[in-house]
Amino acid sequence: MAEFTMELSDEQKEVRDWLHGFAADVIRPAAAEWDEREETPWPVIQEAAKVGIYSLDFYAQQYFDPTGLGIPMAMEELFWGDAGIALSIVGTGLAAVGVLANGTEEQIGTWIPQMYGDANDVKVAAFCSSEPDAGSDVASMRTRAVYDEAKDEWVLSGTKTWATNGGIANVHVVVAVVDPDLGSKGHASFIVPPGTQGLSQGQKFKKHGIRASHTAEVVLDNVRVPGSCLLGGKEKLDARLARAREKARKGGERVKNAAMATFEASRPAVGAMAVGTARAAYEVALEYAQTREQFGRPIIDNQGVAFQLADMRTSIDAARLLVWRASWMAINGKPFTAAEGSMSKLFASETAKKVTAQAVQILGGNGYTREYPVERMHRDSAIYTIFEGTSEIQRLVIARTLAGMPIR
């Protein structure tokens, strides 16, 4: 088990600086254009693939960093560059986590490489869980998966929404109901291979922020996938469902479902994204306050501005520490007895909203225009308190964990 430390190793510092350079030199110059276009920035993703950032190897190296800090460090630097473009680069990771968390070794080796493609032919993947009537309430999911034993195929039907890369992905990971009587315990995850008939893109959403990231509905119309596309395999699923039914009869503890396992693993990473956006806005505001003069002196000389900057930096550092703690705990198998993962996501996402709003205020009229990036950062920050569990859901998870109550 790696000791918890706040000091990055020389190797980690090299990776951080490399990522920071890519964010500064490639992502930031393209940020305003792709935000306006509201399109997937394929050229930037390809550049990331060419240098090795958008790749299975890089993702795996960071994911398996024994300190747990590889992923949050990478997320912070990329999202410091721009949240929309960064989400286009890392969005495939959520689907990859879904396979890593629930799949067999063969499935991991088969499907994750196809999610990324290569530098000459980049691909993306999508994780499809939310539905029009089932966002935070995963127990209300309606997408069904029915097993056709004669053909050893699963038939998927339903509509998914808010799917990053939905419809344009090479590989879709879809969470569906296999036993509706078990509620959220009756869910399973499936791979939908490229070119599968019956899968189509529905509505593409025009969003307030992160506009360079593609978000859309995914429609599944009697989509047939081989039995081998059930993550974890049918034997494992049957055993899990049998345990769930037995515990339901006895009134026992709940069994973690596939979607919740994916979100639980990714929440500190979302916190790191928020830290990156908050840090970017803070740095713009700090530089502006040091150079902008009013009444014959820099505005940072005014307590009203200086105290805001002090609070902004303090909150950012506190958020990063919560993210690092949760990430270290996760990689070392420490249970989140106080919902530390949700704590990190909650505090960091709320910090990003507050800090970016303060940055707009410090820049005044300039902060409200698209000539300065804090306007875009403020729009982007709103998503962190919404996706992968709203702030209200995070508070509910934390409260129920502290009270020793089951989390639905």
Catalytic residues: 388
Let me know if residue 355 belongs to a domain.
Answer: yes
In this prediction, residues 237-250 reach a mean pLDDT of: 85
pLDDT > 70 fraction of the chain, expressed in percent and rounded: 94
Q: Are residues 90 and 157 in the same domain?
A: no
Q: Are residues 87 and 138 in the same domain?
A: no
The last residue of one of the domains, among 122, 138, 157, is 122
CA distance 5 to 357: 31
Kindly list the distances between the CA atom of residue 206 and the CA atoms of 35, 127, 217, 273, 378, in Å, as whole numbers in the listed order: 11, 19, 12, 21, 17
Q: What is the pLDDT of residues 289-323, one digit of tens each?
A: 999 999 999 999 999 999 999 999 999 999 999 99
Q: What is the pLDDT of residues 68-115, one digit of tens each?
A: 999 999 999 999 999 999 999 999 988 998 898 899 999 999 999 999
Let me know if residue 408 belongs to a domain.
Answer: no
Let me know if residue 2 belongs to a domain.
Answer: no
Q: Is the pLDDT of residue 136 over 70?
A: no
- Global confidence as pTM: 0.91
What CATH number did the domain enclosing 58 receive? 1.10.540.10
Let me know if residue 3 belongs to a domain.
Answer: no
Q: Are residues 238 and 137 in the same domain?
A: yes
Q: Are residues 88 and 155 in the same domain?
A: no
What CATH number did the domain enclosing 210 receive? 2.40.110.10
The last residue of one of the domains, among 200, 233, 250, is 250
Q: Are residues 382 and 332 in the same domain?
A: yes
Q: Are residues 28 and 97 in the same domain?
A: yes
State the residue range of the domain holding 166: 125-250
Let me know if residue 80 belongs to a domain.
Answer: yes
Let me know if residue 361 belongs to a domain.
Answer: yes
Q: What is the pLDDT of residues 1-20, one digit of tens each?
A: 667 777 889 999 999 999 99
Half-sphere exposure (Cβ direction) of 208: Cα atoms closer than 13 Å: 10
Q: Are residues 281 and 344 in the same domain?
A: yes
Please, what is the average pLDDT of the chain? 92
CA distance 279 to 281: 5
Number of domains in the chain: 3
Q: Are residues 242 and 273 in the same domain?
A: no
CA distance 245 to 310: 53
Q: Are residues 34 and 78 in the same domain?
A: yes
Q: What is the pLDDT of residues 182-214, one digit of tens each?
A: 888 899 999 999 999 999 999 999 999 999 999
Q: Are residues 295 and 358 in the same domain?
A: yes
The last residue of one of the domains, among 100, 122, 144, is 122
Q: What is the pLDDT of residues 339-383, one digit of tens each?
A: 999 999 999 999 999 999 999 999 999 999 999 999 999 999 999
Let me know if residue 4 belongs to a domain.
Answer: no
Let me know if residue 170 belongs to a domain.
Answer: yes
In this prediction, residues 315-333 reach a mean pLDDT of: 95
Strand partners, 177: 144, 187
What CATH number did the domain enclosing 391 receive? 1.20.140.10
Q: Are residues 103 and 21 in the same domain?
A: yes
CA distance 314 to 86: 24
DSSP state of 251: T
Q: Are residues 19 and 78 in the same domain?
A: yes
